[in-house]
Amino acid sequence: MATVTLKNIRKVYPKSHNTNKSNLKETADGVLAVDDFNLEINDNEFIVLVGPSGCGKSTTLRMVAGLEEITGGELYIDDVLVNEVAPKDRDISMVFQNYALYPHMTVRQNMEFPLKVQKKSRDYIDKKVEEAAEILGITEYLDRKPKALSGGQKQRVAIGRAIVREPKVLLMDEPLSNLDAKLRNQMRAEILKLRKRINTTFIYVTHDQTEAMTLGDRIVIMKDGVVQQTGTPQEVFDSPHNLFVAGFIGTPQMNFYDGRLVEDKGRYHVEIKDMKVALGKEKTERLKANGVKSRDVTVGVRPEHIVLSEGENVLRSVVDVSEMMGSVVHLHVNVDDQDSIIIVPTIQLKDRSLVKSGAEVDFTFPEDVIHLFSKETGNNLEY
Partner 1 sequence: MKKKHSLGYWLMFVLMTLIAFVSFFPFFWMFLSSFKTQSELLSMPPTFFPNNFTTANYTQVFKQMPFTRYYINSLLTSGLNTLVGVISSSLIGYVFAKYDFPYKNVIFLVVLACMMIPYETLMPTVYKMMVGIKWTNSYKVLTIPYFVNIFGIFLMRQFYLDLPDDYLEAAEVDGCSQFEIWARIAMPMANSTTSSLVIFLFMASYNSFMWPLISVDSRKLFTLPVGIASMIWDRGNQYAMLLAAASMIIVPVCILFAFMQRKFIEGMTSGGIKG
Residues at the contact surface with partner 1, assessed by CB under 8 A: 65-67, 86-88, 92-94, 96-98, 100, 102-104, 113-114, 117-118, 161, 165
Residue type, 339: D
Q: Which residues contact 134 (CB under 8 A, 6 or more apart)?
A: none
Query: What is the Cα–Cα distance from 16 to 299, expressed in whole angstroms?
Result: 42
Taking the CB of residue 314, how many other CB atoms lie within 10 A of it?
18
Shortest Cβ 66–partner 1 spacing (Å): 8
Is the Cβ of residue 29 or residue 336 nearer to partner 1 in the bound state?
29
Shortest Cβ 167–partner 1 spacing (Å): 9
> In the sheet where 92-95 sits, what is the strand order?
92-95, 169-173, 201-206, 46-50, 218-223, 226-231
Shortest Cβ 22–partner 1 spacing (Å): 23
Q: Are 172 and 95 in contact (CB under 8 A)?
A: yes
Q: Are 27 and 38 in contact (CB under 8 A)?
A: no
Can you tell me whether residue 95 is helix, strand or coil?
strand
Output phi, psi for 9, to 5 deg: -70, 140
Is the Cβ of residue 62 or residue 302 nearer to partner 1 in the bound state?
62
Query: What is the Cα–Cα distance from 140 to 143, expressed in whole angstroms?
Result: 8
Is the Cβ of residue 33 or residue 319 nearer to partner 1 in the bound state?
33
Is the Cβ of residue 172 or residue 301 nearer to partner 1 in the bound state?
172
Q: Which residues contact 104 (CB under 8 A, 6 or more apart)?
A: none
Q: Are 224 and 335 in contact (CB under 8 A)?
A: no
Can you tell me whether residue 118 is helix, strand or coil?
coil
3: exposed, middle or buried (C-beta count within 10 Å: 0-12, 13-18, 19+)? middle
Shortest Cβ 119–partner 1 spacing (Å): 10
Is the Cβ of residue 146 or residue 259 nearer to partner 1 in the bound state?
146
- Cis check: omega of the bond before 146, within 30 degrees of 0: no
Is the Cβ of residue 39 or residue 67 nearer to partner 1 in the bound state?
67
Shortest Cβ 96–partner 1 spacing (Å): 5
Shortest Cβ 120–partner 1 spacing (Å): 11
Query: What is the Cα–Cα distance from 101 to 340, expressed in whole angstroms?
Result: 45
Is the Cβ of residue 170 or residue 314 nearer to partner 1 in the bound state?
170
Query: What is the Cα–Cα distance from 166 to 211, expressed in whole angstroms?
Result: 24
Shortest Cβ 155–partner 1 spacing (Å): 13
Shortest Cβ 169–partner 1 spacing (Å): 11
Shortest Cβ 104–partner 1 spacing (Å): 5
Q: Are 317 and 333 in contact (CB under 8 A)?
A: yes
Is the Cβ of residue 65 or residue 343 nearer to partner 1 in the bound state?
65
Can you tell me whether residue 297 is helix, strand or coil?
strand
Is the Cβ of residue 87 or residue 252 nearer to partner 1 in the bound state?
87
